[in-house]
Amino acid sequence: MEIRWDILLAIMGASVVTLLPRVLPLVLLSRMQLPEWTMRWLNYVPVAVMAALIAQELFTTDGKVHILQHYVEILAAIPTFATAILTRSLLGTVVVGILSLMVLRFVL
């Protein structure tokens, strides 16, 4: 088997480019004491990122807003969000989301 050096170098380069933005801030910030307001602000980052990703999937197609085109997904999101808020369980939220989407696609 011949090694494809160009592919290996591309994979290694992509790994470094992916790893650096994740590890470097962690290493630098772990040695610093951040102010309380910064810590409170950082607590909202995961929620904001998740909301942006979900909104993009639910409400856009090809970069344009098309709410009615995704009505099945929007309907499935309602019990999914309710489960997430009430249980705070990732597994429960995923299961309810998948089951909701399956049932709605079968029925509609």
Averaged pLDDT for residues 7-29: 92
What pLDDT, on a 0 to 100 scale, did the predictor assign at position 18?
Answer: 93
What angle is formed at CA 68 by the lines to CA 67 and CA 72, rounded to 5 degrees?
Answer: 100
Q: How far apart are CA 104 and CA 97, in angstroms?
A: 11
* The pLDDT value given to residue 103: 97
Count the residues in the chain.
Answer: 108
Mean local confidence (pLDDT), 37-44: 92
The Cα–Cα gap between 93 and 79 comes to 9
Q: What pLDDT does residue 65 have?
A: 85
Residue 34, classed as helix, strand or coil, is coil
76 Cβ contact list (under 8 Å, min separation 6): 97, 100, 101, 104
The answer, yes or no, to whether residue 100 has pLDDT greater than 90, is yes
